[in-house]
Chains A and B, each alone.
Chain A
Amino acid sequence: MLRFLALRIAQFPLILAVIYLVTFLLVWVAPGSPFDRTERVVDPRVTELRKRQLHAEHWNTFLAHYSRQVLLHGDFGPSLAQAQFSVNEILARALPTSAALGCLAMLIATVGGLGIGVISAVRRGGAMDWIGLSVALVGISLPSFVVAAVLLMTFAVFWHWFPPNGWGTWRHMVLPSVALSLMPMAYISRLMRVSMLEILSSDYVRTARAKGLSRPAVVWKHCFRNAFLPVLSYLGPATAMTLTGSFVVEHVFNIAGMGREFVASVQNRDQTLVLGVVVVYSVLLLGLNLLVDVLYTLVDPRIELTAKAHGA
């Protein structure tokens, strides 16, 4: 177990370095640059100077400077498009917002998805099954901006239950996190329902019932844990994705989070900011996937983590 952890953690820097390089390559070969995005006619010498100041005159100066900064100081440098801010400042401002939103969304998605999944598996074909299935299908069949807009119109504009936009109190967080949670909730409830159905028909469940255990006890104590495993492996990447924010939801509710910064940075070819956001995202993804693997052993003691079994 410890060996496994050590091996995985030892691989992190390598994977991150590859992702950093690939991202750099992608944003660098893409046409357009943050320096020619202004309406004013700028003297080419000024642009040249500016590029030199920011170490962006050539790909090797950029890579040499910024990768060293990141490695030595954890500093992603100044944002090329929003020159008054450093990438670290932008990340420090956007990440907590997105993380709070993402955590709440994942909480709603997990609790809701597991609940819907279990109930619809237990009451298969019943009313709850159909309601749950429709929620799940809406979650994966409509673009999130439609869902977000409809939520906004209904609960903020018509009924005034929640503020329509902005950030600050818990009331601001409710609608965006519900909108953000629908997609993962849909997947979780589908996964949970399928694996729950499989387990409900297994022999040990019948035995437990035959011994006189009550239905809830069997469902929640015996089945839930086993059925949870496939959901657990989905939770890792889903959480990383939700934590770094969804641009669409942040845009509809006018929240300054990671998703918005990310899309803006890609559109502005703000190379330093793109790299910063991608690295944060990858760290979250890698960390959460590792966490999921560790949690696996806690949920299911039969699984033993060995460096070999997991190959890479």
Chain B
Amino acid sequence: MSRILPADFSDRSFPDAPPSLWRRMMRSGRVVVGGAILLLVAAACLVSLPRTLDPDLENHFYYDGGADNWDWRAPPAAAEPALWFGTDNLGRSLLARCLTGGAISLAIGLAAAVIAVVLGVSVGMVAGYRGGWTDAGLMRFVDVMYGLPYVLMIIILKISLENPLQKLFDPKVGNLIVLFLAIGLVSWLTMARVIRGQVLSLRGQPFIEAARAAGLTERRIFLHHLLPNLIGPILVYATLTVPQAILQESFLSFLGIGIQKPLPTWGSLTSEALEANAILGGRWWLLAFPSALLGLTLLCLNFVGDGLRDVLDPKRSSSRL
């Protein structure tokens, strides 16, 4: 009599085992190239941060080419590192400004993505899994939020959170946190919709039914059974949220309610350049460098996002863009 042996899954080298997440990501040329450039830009911004933000080293911000030839509108020059990007209206090194601005812009993008993931995934998962009134209520709420212009939401979040948070923290830090929150809190809607859709289709599948029949708690089902199957869409939409958030910050800076001076972001540097009439005044570098960095970074983020969508989101990966 042969006994029925429990299946042995210890050997993980199934011939048809799907390749790991990392492998699949690395297969897309766009993800690799875009990701590499992004890492480079982010590393440059982060590594230089202690130097560009240190109050004792404030002079590194300012280009001082010696008392005789002090120039507060120096064009870019290859000889002096502080002058690679030229200087701005106040004689600050534009390179240093761009590096700090990049770090802040990327931080805003990341914070928005984190908030979007946490809020969007929890709302989407609960709505999709529970169904019924919970689903209807949550999704109608998302619909109403979609119907409101996001400009209204951002500005109102910004002005209502500004005061309490600036009292709680240092004004500069408070301003940053407000920006993170205001942009993050308008960015989770798409994520919630996508996750809900995925959960709806996962919910009917046997493995979830089995988990429920085995009496697992809802929390365990969410964290151990649903979440691992949602990693693909979460990664894709998180990556696509980052450029959106950076653009929204630049829009806020353009309105004059973005980051507080003297802290820069790429968005505020570009809008300052426009205010200073950079092109007509012949100081093209004020506009060219920040907007080139902004454009390049957003380009790479969109590249990576699209590439990830192709390899990770099977429903929409019909063809390559």
A residues at B contact (CB < 8 Å):
15, 18-19, 22-23, 26-27, 29-32, 133, 137-138, 140-143, 145-146, 149-150, 153, 157, 190, 193-194, 197-198, 201, 241, 244, 247-248, 251-252, 262-263, 266-267, 274, 278, 281-282, 285-286, 312
B residues near A15, Cβ cutoff 8 Å: 143-144, 147
Of B73-81, B155-163, B201-209, the one contacting chain A is B155-163
B residues near A30, Cβ cutoff 8 Å: 156, 159-160
Contact of B318 among A141, A194, A252 (CB under 8 A): A194
Docked CA distance A30–B247 (Å): 24
Contact of B291 among A146, A241, A312 (CB under 8 A): A146
Contact of B147 among A153, A194, A285 (CB under 8 A): A285
Q: Is B270 an interface residue (CB 8 A)?
A: yes
Residue pair A263, B151 in contact (C-beta under 8 Å): yes
Q: Which of A31, A140, A143, A267 has the most chain B CB atoms closer than 10 A to its own CB? A: A143
Q: Is B37 an interface residue (CB 8 A)?
A: no
Contact of A145 among B140, B274, B280 (CB under 8 A): B274
Residue pair A153, B149 in contact (C-beta under 8 Å): no
B residues at A contact (CB < 8 Å):
139-140, 143-144, 147-149, 151-153, 155-156, 159-160, 163, 243, 247, 250-251, 254-255, 257, 267, 270-271, 274, 279-280, 287, 291, 294-295, 298-299, 302, 318-321
Residue pair B144, A32 in contact (C-beta under 8 Å): no
Residue pair B255, A263 in contact (C-beta under 8 Å): yes
Q: Return the 5 tightest CB-CB contacts between A and B, nearest first.
A: A141-B298, A197-B319, A141-B299, A143-B250, A198-B318
A residues near B243, Cβ cutoff 8 Å: 140-141
A residues near B321, Cβ cutoff 8 Å: 133, 190, 193-194
- Say how far A243's CB is from chain B's closest CB, in angstroms: 12
Residue pair B147, A19 in contact (C-beta under 8 Å): yes
B residues near A133, Cβ cutoff 8 Å: 321
Residue pair B148, A32 in contact (C-beta under 8 Å): no
Contact of A26 among B152, B279, B298 (CB under 8 A): B152
B residues near A32, Cβ cutoff 8 Å: 159
Q: Known A-B contacts: A15-B144, A27-B156, A30-B159. Give 11 more (CB < 8 A).
A: A15-B143, A23-B152, A26-B148, A26-B156, A31-B163, A140-B243, A153-B280, A248-B251, A252-B274, A262-B151, A267-B257
Q: Which of B149, B250, B255, B279 has the most chain A CB atoms closer than 10 A to its own CB? A: B149
Question: Known: A266-B152, A278-B152. Is A248-B318 also a contact (CB below 8 A)?
Answer: no
Contact of A31 among B155, B159, B291 (CB under 8 A): B159
- Say how far B301's CB is from chain A's closest CB, in angstroms: 8
Enumerate 14 A-B pairs (CB-CB under 8 Å) in ascending A order. Answer: A19-B147, A22-B144, A142-B298, A146-B270, A146-B294, A153-B279, A153-B280, A190-B321, A247-B255, A266-B156, A267-B255, A267-B257, A278-B152, A286-B147
- Say how far B150's CB is from chain A's closest CB, in angstroms: 10
Query: Which B residue sits closest to A120, measured CB to CB?
Result: B321
Contact of A19 among B144, B156, B257 (CB under 8 A): B144
